[in-house]
Amino acid sequence: MALITFMSDFGENDHYVSAVKAKMLAIDPELIIVDISHDITPFDITHGSFVLKSVFRDFPQGTIHLVAVNTLDEDNNNYIIALIEGHYFIGADNGLISLVSEKDPETIIKLNNPDIEASVFPTRDILARNAAMLAGGAAVNDLGQVTGDFKRLLGRQLKATKKQISGNVIRVDHFGNAITNIDQEIFNILKKGRGFVVKFGREEIPNIHSTYASVDPGECFVVFNSNGLLEIGINKGSASELMGLSFDSPVVINFEEPAP
């Protein structure tokens, strides 16, 4: 049976998370439900999509990802299942799901559900049931109508030239590390054996470290993290607090001129 993951902005001190799980387990108590996080900043699609994008590929293909962040939007009668890179994403059509992958969905289903207009808790009343049915073997096409498109949002884009990669902090994590949208692959393509300097705030770092502990405690490190994104931190400290890095802060890599 497929795994179900569950991510929300519901927090941990209300009944909302368990109400959704209860509805799924009432359909099949053997379902395996893995929490991604329920501490997504309320209504923050950017935070939610970053977390889900960072982890969904670690789950087996066929996993069902139940997404409940900012679920009650103006268009709150649009709920979808999108099949992307072999994973099912089920949630409100608010753009979050469009941010988890650069690849186009293989299928998008608009859930048909007579209760949709009536519910003020659609994650419990609509999404939970559909997720449980999908995990139980229902064909995704039986849960709604195939639709051509879904709401698409654009993530923070990188600017890259032969001289410079210009990016931004897209997430400050639990440790105060600042994760950027600068991708290791693009860096490797552009570098071509040249020297470079990573610039952010008042810092200029002339190299990228191999691990978080390549520098002494209290010193600044720059690594490509486990998702291949440039990450800035302070060993045993908080880069966010100590260097003022926050969401959207600019981070630039300047390459040396090639030898003439």
**Closer residue to a copy of itself (CB): 13 or 161:** 13
Q: Which residues contact 190 (CB under 8 A, 6 or more apart)?
A: 160, 162, 165, 255
Among the listed residues 29, 137, 206, 260, the single contact to a copy of itself using CB under 8 A: 29
Determine the interface stretch with a copy of itself among 129-137, 149-157, 159-167, 168-176 (rule: CB under 8 A).
168-176
Please tell me the distance from the alpha carbon of residue 212 to that of residue 231, in angstroms, as a whole number. 9
**Closer residue to a copy of itself (CB): 7 or 140:** 7
**Closer residue to a copy of itself (CB): 48 or 255:** 48
Q: Which residues contact 15 (CB under 8 A, 6 or more apart)?
A: none
Among the listed residues 85, 95, 164, 175, the single contact to a copy of itself using CB under 8 A: 175
Within 13 Å, how many C-alpha atoms sit on residue 100's CB side? 27
Token look-up 């299942």 returns 81
Which residues are 223's β-sheet partners? Answer: 209, 231
Among the listed residues 139, 193, 226, 257, the single contact to a copy of itself using CB under 8 A: 226
Among the listed residues 103, 114, 120, 185, the single contact to a copy of itself using CB under 8 A: 120
**Closer residue to a copy of itself (CB): 25 or 160:** 25
Please tell me the distance from the alpha carbon of residue 143 to that of residue 127, in angstroms, as a whole number. 11
Among the listed residues 89, 124, 133, 182, the single contact to a copy of itself using CB under 8 A: 124
58 binds a copy of itself (CB under 8 A): yes
Q: Is 21 helix (H, G, I), strand (E, B) or coil?
A: helix
Among the listed residues 64, 198, 223, 230, the single contact to a copy of itself using CB under 8 A: 223
Closest CA to 106 of 136, 150, 66: 150
173 binds a copy of itself (CB under 8 A): yes
12 binds a copy of itself (CB under 8 A): yes
In which element (H, E) is residue 84 found? strand 79-84
In the shown chain, the binding pattern of residues 189 to 218 toward a copy of itself, with x for contact by CB under 8 A and - for none, equals ---------------------xxxx-----
Please tell me the distance from the alpha carbon of residue 123 to that of residue 23, in angstroms, as a whole number. 10
In this structure, what are the phi and psi dihedrals at residue 37, rounded to the nearest 5 degrees? -170, 145
151 binds a copy of itself (CB under 8 A): no
Determine the interface stretch with a copy of itself among 55-63, 100-108, 135-143, 181-189 (rule: CB under 8 A).
55-63
Quick check: 47 and 40 in contact, CB under 8 A? yes
Give the nearest distance from C-beta 106 to a copy of itself in angstroms. 21
Please tell me the distance from the alpha carbon of residue 133 to that of residue 151, in angstroms, as a whole number. 24
* List of residues contacting a copy of itself (CB under 8 A): 1, 3, 5, 10-19, 21-23, 25-26, 29, 32, 34-43, 47, 51-52, 54-55, 58-60, 72-74, 76, 119-121, 124-125, 173-175, 210-213, 223-226, 236
